[in-house]
Amino acid sequence: MGVVLVGAQWGDEGKGKMTDFLAAQADIVVRYQGGANAGHTIVISGVEHKLNLIPSGILAGKMSVIAHGMMVDPRLLIDELERMEAAGCNASLLRISDAAHLIMPYHKILDVEEERLRGVNSLGTTGRGIGPASRDKAARWGIRVSDLLRPESFVEKVHVQLRRVNPLLEKIYGVDPLDPEAISREYLEYSEHLRPHVCDTILLLNRSMEQGASVLFEGAQGTMLDLDMGTYPYVTSSNPTSGGVCTGTGVPPTRLSQVIGIAKAYTTRVGDGPFPTELQDHTGDLLRQRGNEYGTATGRPRRCGWLDSVVLRHSVRVNGLDGICLTKIDVLSGMEKIKVADSYACNDAVIDEFPLDQGAFADCHPEYIELAGWDEDISRVRRFADLPGAVRNYVRTVGELAGAPVTHLSVGPGREQTLELEPILRLR
């Protein structure tokens, strides 16, 4: 069976932690989109592990698959693999799709230069080359992992790409051209490190599932950063939503059994773009400080605000969420009142669904309901029934407003700080 975990907001919802929690029940953990723009933090026995490319399942000793929907930066991947080995993980569990696209040095340069060109309309990208590499993939210029394993054709492809890209770098962006020989030498060295892990992951996953394997699909980024479903153009260049699993792995929708959304008990966003419930005041600062809201991939401070149930309803709908895992609820402890947006005032109208027109979305102002806060430290509570009444009320209200039950609650960063409210998630 296949269970999908997706971010229900703008990313950084704590997906790595939930993947790690559920990986214990899975045979295989798969990432299906994105690249090193993602950052997943997992705390095990007080030790923090940060992953950008490798699925969090590696920490649970599970086969971990980088599927063809991902964009692979080989240098970063090798560094990460070495870090994981040093932390005691079994590196031989990693599988990399031969059809995954490579991030090339010019993708990262173009990412930065294009942001500069956008000026005040910049997207706030992570600078990891994701947009330019995805564009090359769609334009049929991409270089894939399988190319890296065939040195002659790889070198030729790099030469062809630089005939096209170097004039852009020099004439449009005023930066130095790149040397195809130097890039080829560098990348072919990486190929020897990666070769033992490369295989046809479409076959691997489908055959394993035919034989009864349970597979956990780990989304990166979040629904509102989806190229098609999110706050375009302030989005990433892939499909983090559940549909992305099928195109990004070759596993058909008929093999997927459940989709769980991960949502923070408040909202954060890194990068630019509309964010109706953003708090640019003391409360926003408090959330950032208490929630340690700084990006894993780039270290940037995250924008913080109240939970937005308009966003969650959109997420429930487009992902087909069976349940929601609400994370970091402990961060809200000590707030006298807690607000949740249940609709928007938007150009003289009140709307309670996410508007497709992004111009309208930018003009939306949240309408809030206010709930009682709580003072208790809840980080040691392990049963829902033992939580203060105000916490239980908050959790129930979020589920009702979102239109999907809260099935898991995270009260702290540790593996043991996850409460299972409804045992709907079963990988076995």
Nearest Cα to Cα of residue 65 among 37, 44, 93: 93
Q: 289-348: which residues touch ligand IMP (CB under 6 A)?
A: 297
Determine the Cα–Cα distance for residues 305 and 266; give it in Å rounded to an integer. Answer: 6
Q: Which residue lies nearer to ligand IMP by CB, 130 or 205? A: 130
Q: Which is nearer to ligand IMP, 27 or 218 (CB)?
A: 218
Q: Which two three-digit tokens encode residue 161?
A: 């790409």
**By rule CB under 6 A, what string of x and - marks binding of each residue 10-29 to ligand IMP?**
-xx-----------------
| Catalytic residue flag (residue 40) | yes
Q: Answer whether 177's CB lies under 8 Å from 159's CB.
A: no
CB of 3 to ligand IMP, least distance (A): 20
The answer to the question of residue 249 lying near ligand IMP (CB under 6 A) is no
Residue 311 and residue 343 in contact, taking contact as beta carbons nearer than 8 Å:
no
Q: Looking at 36-44, 74-82, 83-91, 135-143, which segment touches ligand IMP (CB under 6 A)?
A: 36-44
Considering the complex, state which of residue 157 and residue 303 has its C-beta at the smaller distance from ligand IMP. 303
CA distance 352 to 367: 9
Q: Which residues pair with 28 in a beta bridge?
A: 63, 215
Told to check if 55 binds ligand IMP by CB under 6 A, we report no
Q: Does 123 bind ligand IMP (CB under 6 A)?
A: yes
Q: From the list 236, 267, 397, 407, which residue makes contact with ligand IMP (rule: CB under 6 A)?
A: 236
Please tell me the total number of residues recorded for the chain in this structure: 428
Residue with structure tokens 């630019």? Answer: 272
In the complex, the smallest distance separating the C-beta of residue 105 from ligand IMP, rounded to whole angstroms, is: 16
Q: Which of 112, 128, 136, 133 is nearest to 37 (CA)?
A: 128
**Alpha carbon distance 338, 368 (integer Å):** 10
Cβ atoms of 72 and 35 closer than 8 Å: yes
Residue among 9, 33, 126, 417 that touches ligand IMP (CB under 6 A): 126
Residues 6+ apart with CB under 8 A from 160: none
Residue 270 in the binding site for ligand IMP (CB under 6 A): yes
Is 231 a residue that touches ligand IMP (CB under 6 A)? Answer: no
The candidate with the shortest Cα–Cα distance to 202, out of 95, 112, 125, 118, is 95
Residue 4, amino acid: V
Binding flags for ligand IMP, 350-379, as an x/- string (CB under 6 A) = ------------------------------
Residue 86 CB coordination number (10 Å): 8
Q: Is 339 helix (H, G, I), strand (E, B) or coil?
A: strand
- The stretch among 20-28, 123-131, 181-189, 195-203 that binds ligand IMP (CB under 6 A) is 123-131
Residue in the shown chain whose Cβ atom is closest to ligand IMP: 271
Is residue 42 part of the contact set for ligand IMP (CB under 6 A)?
Answer: no
The catalytically annotated residue of 12, 27, 322, 342 is 12
CB of 293 to ligand IMP, least distance (A): 11
Would you count residue 220 as binding ligand IMP (CB under 6 A)? yes
Identified catalytic residue from 20, 27, 40, 342: 40
d(CA 190, CA 134) in angstroms, rounded, equals: 21
Active site residues: 12, 40
Residues that bind ligand IMP (CB under 6 A): 11-12, 37-39, 123-126, 128, 130-131, 220-221, 225, 234, 236-237, 270-271, 297
